[in-house]
């Protein structure tokens, strides 16, 4: 019994030590930021680290810093300006809605079939000039074959309900991985839709589903997490 008790105490001690180390270890994003700071300091004319650091800043909620890095990246690689949709998203969260609108309008020259591009332009306009005008001036989009992007477009155009988007994502019993991706995007954009409509609690329900139930390995998952955390913060302030 004594030997067993000693073994149990030893195992508990090891587990506790591992937990404490995890608690004090640098956050992966903080570590990445420090490494990119060093790269840029050592070679300030290298473009890619600015893009990478801009992405890290965005994930950390440092929106102004994210825009600054993306701007510097484009200064060094001006040919990448139109395609830089991440910059448009950072503009949106930094409150620079006209700059975001222009970024997404420029992206049309890169891909005129991307529903997400039209939605993010709509989002910028909804903040700047209101939903009614944003809806009237929705970008015309070609054949985005990703499910449920067509339904997402129609929802923001005022022609479908949020439930139609979620239903489209589930239709046809797709394979698990595909279903996860489709439901992620469905709940992300339904959540954003409700947020713009002022239904923050409902928006948060959908964003929680996107981030927790249908996680995907893509930059847009971080966008969903950022949006979710901002809404959580809003609700806390209201209480």
pLDDT at position 49 over 90: yes
Task: Identify the band that residue 238 occupies on the pLDDT scale cut at 50, 70 and 90.
Answer: confident
Query: Tokens 């620079």 appear where?
Result: 96
**Domain containing 66 — which CATH number?**
1.25.40.10
Nearest-angstrom CA–CA distance, 188 and 166: 10
What's the pLDDT at 16? Answer: 43
Total domains present in the chain: 3
Are residues 163 and 200 in contact, defined by beta-carbon separation less than 8 angstroms? no
Tokens of 30: 């903080």
Task: Identify the band that residue 18 occupies on the pLDDT scale cut at 50, 70 and 90.
Answer: very low
- Would you say the pTM of this structure is higher than 0.75? yes
Could you tell me if residue 36 is inside a domain?
yes
Task: Identify the band that residue 237 occupies on the pLDDT scale cut at 50, 70 and 90.
Answer: confident
Range of the domain at 203: 146-239
Could you tell me if residue 5 is inside a domain?
no
Could you tell me if residue 20 is inside a domain?
no
Of 145, 172, 198, at which residue does a domain stop? 145
Could you tell me if residue 177 is inside a domain?
yes
Could you tell me if residue 45 is inside a domain?
yes
Are residues 58 and 89 in contact, defined by beta-carbon separation less than 8 angstroms? yes
Are residues 161 and 155 in contact, defined by beta-carbon separation less than 8 angstroms? yes
**171 with 221, same domain?**
yes
Of 96, 121, 145, at which residue does a domain stop? 145
Q: Which of 97, 36, 98, 102 is nearest to 69 (CA)?
A: 36
Could you tell me if residue 165 is inside a domain?
yes
Instruction: Report H helices in 25-96.
Output: 28-42, 48-59, 63-76, 85-93
Higher per-residue confidence, 207 vs 20:
207
How many Å from the N-terminal Cα to the C-terminal Cα in the chain? 53
Tokens of 185: 């995007």
Q: What rounded mean pLDDT belongs to the chain?
A: 91
């Amino acid at each position: 019994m004594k030997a067993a008790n000693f073994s149990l105490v030893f195992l508990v001690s090891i587990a506790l030590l591992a937990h404490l180390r995890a608690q004090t270890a640098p956050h992966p994003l903080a570590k990445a930021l420090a490494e990119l700071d060093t790269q840029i300091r050592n070679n300030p004319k290298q473009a890619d680290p600015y893009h990478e650091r801009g992405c890290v800043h965005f994930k950390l909620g440092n929106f102004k810093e994210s825009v600054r890095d993306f701007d510097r990246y484009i200064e060094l690689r001006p040919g990448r300006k139109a395609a830089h949709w991440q910059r448009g998203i950072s503009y949106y969260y930094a409150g620079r809605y006209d700059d975001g609108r222009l970024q997404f309008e420029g992206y049309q020259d890169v891909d005129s079939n991307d529903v997400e591009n039209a939605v993010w332009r709509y989002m910028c306009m909804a903040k700047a000039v209101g939903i009614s005008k944003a809806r009237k001036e929705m970008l015309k989009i070609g054949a985005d074959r990703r499910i449920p992007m067509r339904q997402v477009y129609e929802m923001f155009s005022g022609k479908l309900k949020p439930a139609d988007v979620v239903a489209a994502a589930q239709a046809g019993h797709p394979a698990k991985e595909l279903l996860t991706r489709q439901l992620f995007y469905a709940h992300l954009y339904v959540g954003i839709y409700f947020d713009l409509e002022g239904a923050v609690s409902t928006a948060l329900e959908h964003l929680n589903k996107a981030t927790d139930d249908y996680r995907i390995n893509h930059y847009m998952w971080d966008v969903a997490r950022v949006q979710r955390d901002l809404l959580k913060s809003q609700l806390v302030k209201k209480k």
